[in-house]
Chains A and B, each alone.
Chain A
Amino acid sequence: MNSRNVRAWTRYAIAAALVIVVLSPALWLVLMSLRPNTDIMATTLAFRPTLHNYAEAWTGEFPASFGHSLSASLASTVVSLLVGVPAAYVLARWRFRGQHQVAMWILVTRMAPPIAFTIPFFLAYTWLGLMDTVAGLALIYVTFNLALVVWTMKGFFDAVPRSLEEAAWIDGASLWGAFARVALPLAAPGLAATGILCFILSWNDFFFALILTRTEAMTAPVAIVNFMQYAGFEWGKIAAGGVSVMLPVLLFTVLVRRYLVSGLTAGGVKE
């Protein structure tokens, strides 16, 4: 009994120590963002926190870039859900020839290096006038979000018993009527989680925004990097920008932590 207690407490102690080690790099960024500019180079923990850096960061083009990030991520999430959810339902309910190939196609889409998309998209966007637009950005985010939606939602629909939809059919509902009234409400938590995952993935993007936007549709991650290049190295401002960009993601993560792995491994693991 006693030795078991000791072992349990050792486990907790190691885990707690690891938490501090793992979190400290991120916490340092937060501390730095709150430091007064006069001792930004200091490493003491005793300082009077100030929001001065945030006020600095939230001027100029940064608020607008935050808005671009928000619109591109939201638009891409909505489109991916609208197009992807019915497809996921079909894949969950219908066996057909070529299903395996469709699955593989979706998996490769998720895996392909972004640079492979960027080169053709850059040329096409220049030609179509979608360069440096939020719509163009939202569209390229659909390439990875759609794969995610189809795969995770298929998993959720698989878990909805078919007998309920069959009952609705017998009552005269059409296939999509039964889908909308029975299957979709039952898969609603999954739908919310999938939507949030899409949003996080789009929000976190740096590469596509770096290449496909300039000024008009620049997203927040690119704007922070611009703090580095043009304004010299104003570390306080950079840190405040970084914290601003990571906060929404942290909030959302708490909501979807249970689905994180199945979302990120979408298509590669048969559940």
Chain B
Amino acid sequence: MASETGLDRAAVRKTGVRGVAGRAGRGRWAREQRRALRWGLAPALSVLALATLAPAVWLIITSLTPLTPTDPGSLDFSEPWQNYQQAFSSPEFVRSVWVQVELSSVTVVLQLLIGLGIALLLDKPSKLLETIRTVFLVPMVLPPIVVAIIWKIIYTPAISPLHRLGAFLGVPFHSLITNADTAIWAIAAADTWEWFPFTMLMTLAALQMVPKEPQEAARIDGAGAVQLFWHVRLPYIRGTLVVAGLFRLIDSIKAFPLIYLLTDGGPGGATQVTNYYAFVQTFNFAYWGYGSAIAMLLVAGVFVLSLLISRAGGGMALDE
């Protein structure tokens, strides 16, 4: 995805607007150019500030209060840290973090492995394989609520083709989503189905940028397919795999429709990830202050992961 823009970027970096302005005559003209540029940026930055900074500030404020919508006096700052203290001493919150860690790590690893496997399979110039590549995108672009409905059908024994298949093969099984031991795996399977195309696409793009010469050289030296992958291609795509994994990790923290529709966080909290916990506390129990504090903790986690992405993404650009 990067090849054509690389040269231009370098040129842009070197000249910049000032350089161009210098060529066309300095002074007033350059100042006007810069003012015009500022006017282009201003609306976006103001909308972004209004739509993101203002809510962020407000979220910090409410997270320091025991706010609840029915009680106007609850915007009260006498014990600013109580929500955070309560969170860390709440077994339900701590459990939600562990459920999150479990679900996220399982899905990210599965998506990376499956995405990589299919990308390797499809990484050949061929019209047919290209069409297949597009078909594989379907799960990822479907509206997430439709994905949730699809899997609700698959996991509902009365209408499920999967349960019929199990019965037909002589291995009938009970509902996976109402069993506390299997529910998280059922969610993980659905989530993996939905998002493996993302890692597949990113990996494919990276594979296509691996230079041909080292591969040819390795082949002439008698390297087999496995050696070729492990020693030649993998080092080139490692950066992309890390970035794709981080993206999926961050998005997995936000997963909502699947859990909402399949298990509602149950059974007994077995699939209640932190995001869902914050949703339930805020919108079902009206603990707005407490919910804000949990949301703040999520934002903090996401911020750290974004910093990692920005580092890894930069590293990837250098590798190329």
Give A residues with C-beta under 8 Å from B.
Answer: 8, 11-12, 14-16, 18-19, 22-23, 25-26, 28-29, 32, 40-41, 43, 83-84, 86-87, 89-95, 102, 104-109, 111-117, 119-121, 123-124, 126, 139-140, 142-143, 146-147, 150, 155, 158-162, 166, 169-170, 174-176, 179, 200, 203-204, 206-207, 210-211, 221, 224-225, 228, 235, 238-239, 242, 245-246, 249-250, 253-254, 257, 260-262, 264-265, 268-271
Contacts and interface: CB of A to CB of B under 8 A. Distances in A.
B296 to A, nearest CB: 7
Given A113-B275, A260-B141, A271-B317, 9 more contacts: A16-B132, A26-B150, A107-B309, A159-B8, A166-B20, A228-B261, A260-B140, A261-B1, A270-B2
Contact of A265 (B37, B202, B305): B202
Interface stretch (B76-84, B101-109, B118-126, B229-237): B118-126
B52 A261 contact: no
Label chain A's interface by main secondary structure: helix
Contacts of B205: 261
In this complex, the member of A29, A86, A257, A271 whose beta carbon has the largest number of chain B beta carbons within 10 angstroms is: A271
Contact of B58 (A124, A150, A261): A124
A225 B296 contact: no
20 contacts: A11-B124, A22-B138, A41-B159, A84-B44, A105-B52, A108-B303, A108-B306, A113-B275, A114-B254, A142-B51, A158-B9, A179-B40, A204-B142, A225-B145, A242-B149, A245-B146, A250-B138, A250-B142, A261-B201, A270-B317
A115 B279 contact: yes
Contacts of A94: 16-17, 34, 37
Given A22-B139, A224-B145, A206 B256 contact: yes
A35 to B, nearest CB: 10
Contacts of A28: 150, 153-154, 161
A120 B62 contact: yes
B302 A111 contact: yes
Contact of B132 (A15, A117, A174): A15
Interface of B: 1-2, 4-5, 8-9, 11-13, 15-17, 20, 23-24, 32-34, 36-38, 40-41, 43-45, 47-48, 51-52, 54-56, 58-59, 62, 69, 118, 121-122, 124, 128-129, 132, 134-146, 149-151, 153-154, 158-159, 161, 164, 193, 198, 201-202, 205, 243, 246-247, 250, 253-254, 256-257, 260-261, 275, 278-279, 282-283, 288, 291-292, 295-296, 298-299, 302-303, 305-307, 309-310, 313-314, 316-317
Nearest to A41: B159
A162 B143 contact: no
A270 B54 contact: no
A230 B4 CA distance: 53
Contacts of B254: 113-114
Contacts of A109: 48, 52
A23 B122 CA distance: 17
Contacts of A268: 243, 246-247, 306, 309-310, 313
A142 B1 contact: no
Contacts of A206: 143-145, 256-257, 260
Contacts of A117: 52, 55
Nearest to A265: B247
Nearest to B43: A83
Given A86-B44, A91-B41, A206-B257, A112 B143 contact: no
Contacts of B303: 108, 111
B15 A162 contact: yes
A18 B193 CA distance: 12
B49 to A, nearest CB: 9
Contacts of B159: 32, 40-41, 235
A29 B2 CA distance: 37
A102 B143 contact: no
